[in-house]
Structure 1
Amino acid sequence: MAAAAAEATGAEAGKSGGGRKKLLLIAVPMLLGGIGAGLWFGGILPNLLGMGHHDTAADARGAPQAEAPRPPAFFEMPEIIANLNATGRRPVYVKLRSKLEITRAEDAAAIQLAMPRLLDLFQTHLREMRPEELRGSAGTQRLREELVARANIAVAPPAGSTQAAPRITDVLFLEMLVQ
């Protein structure tokens, strides 16, 4: 009877030992992952790997610094008057004065060269719009987004060119009159 009790105790010990192994196989990687995540999001691990913020003393010793962001430049667009796609006998017109926000002031010359294409794209889009599409701030925002996309298409350099493309980031409406 003592031998049977010893075997039963040994079997129970074997079962509980397997449970401990499974627990260790699950708990240890989770614990290490938690510690790693804490070090990463705490900023310690990126600094150890050389991916964190640089030492300001090293920057003062002559390490190259990144350029400060440039303020945007603005390009004045000529006034555009276009008739809208209106139903009925009476024509509806839109008068638009705007400025283009560009990333670099040096791009103004390239935009001036592309002005005929830019005006054509703006005019054709405005002629296709209905007066109700321009109502409210949502209509104005949709028009702005469409004009930015068209402006970037208009100023893009020809295919195969190595010239950097000017980038238009926004169209600012100075005056928009629908009549």
Structure 2
Amino acid sequence: MAKAAKKEAEPEAETDEAPKKSKLPSKKVMIIAAAALLVIGGGGVGAYMFLGHGAEKKEEAKKEVVKPATFVDLPDVLVNLSSAGSDRTQYLKVKVVLELPDAELVPKIQPLMPRVMDAFQTYLRELRPTDLDGSAGLYRLKEELTRRVNVAVAPNKVTAVLFKEIVVQ
């Protein structure tokens, strides 16, 4: 009978442990679910702030800050291109406009125009006709002229150099 009592006591011990095991996973599931809700809720609030409500404030700020660009015409530049072994001389005629971020820069840049024209002349005389081939060549020319103008008018800054006319003859 003592053995029968032990057998009966063992199933009771197993039933006592079974509810404890079932409570642990439910606590883990609840913690995981709470963490998931926290992450999803935080993501929703962040999306609302950055995409919804925050975008309206940024658009309003951009509308207020936008200033019309100012353009300054430069005199036409006519240079002969570098010819390595060619008998025929080729010329480059360029009409350029400087784009300034603010109209207040025009009086600051006007006294520096001889320096800008000198930078244009010295650079353009080094070019070969093949340097101007295609849109990639013109883009490189534009970027290099913008860089040289910004060096010449420093500490002021020019937004872009725009071409009105380019003729290679």
TM-score normalized with structure 1 length: 0.71
Q: Following the alignment from structure 1 to structure 2, what is the Cα–Cα distance between the partners of residues 123 and 150?
A: 11
**What is the aligned partner in structure 1 of residue 42 from structure 2?**
36
Q: Following the alignment from structure 2 to structure 1, what is the Cα–Cα distance between the partners of residues 55 and 163?
A: 41
**What is the aligned partner in structure 1 of residue 164 from structure 2?**
174
Q: Following the alignment from structure 1 to structure 2, what is the Cα–Cα distance between the partners of residues 10 and 124?
A: 94
Identity of aligned residues (%): 41
Q: Which runs of 4+ in 1 moved over 3 A?
A: 6-27, 43-47, 51-54
Matching of residues 76-91 of structure 1 within 5 Å: 76-89=73-86, 90-91=88-89
Could you give the per-residue CA deviations for residues 130-152 of structure 1, whole angstroms, max 9, x where no partner exists? 21221122221221122122222
Matching of residues 1-179 of structure 1 within 5 Å: 1-43=7-49, 67-89=64-86, 90-157=88-155, 165=156, 167-179=157-169
Give the drift of 1:24.
4.0
Q: Following the alignment from structure 1 to structure 2, what is the Cα–Cα distance between the partners of residues 124 and 148?
A: 14
Could you give the per-residue CA deviations for residues 25-62 of structure 1, whole angstroms, max 9, x where no partner exists? 44322321211221222239996xxx7756xxxxxxxx
Q: Following the alignment from structure 1 to structure 2, what is the Cα–Cα distance between the partners of residues 135 and 107?
A: 33
Q: Following the alignment from structure 1 to structure 2, what is the Cα–Cα distance between the partners of residues 68 and 152?
A: 23
Which amino acid in 1 is paired with 2:141?
A: L
Measured at CA, do residues 21 and 82 of structure 1 come closer, stay the same or move farther in structure 2, by a change above 3 Å? farther
Could you give the per-residue CA deviations for residues 58-115 of structure 1, whole angstroms, max 9, x where no partner exists? xxxxxxxx84522111001111122323322333221111101111112112211111
What's the secondary structure of 1:114's corresponding residue? helix
Q: Following the alignment from structure 1 to structure 2, what is the Cα–Cα distance between the partners of residues 121 and 30?
A: 62
Measured at CA, do residues 53 and 4 of structure 1 come closer, stay the same or move farther in structure 2, by a change above 3 Å? same
Q: Structure 2 unaligned segments of length 5 or more: list them.
A: 1-6, 58-62
**What is the aligned partner in structure 2 of residue 162 from structure 1?**
none
- Higher relative helix content: 2
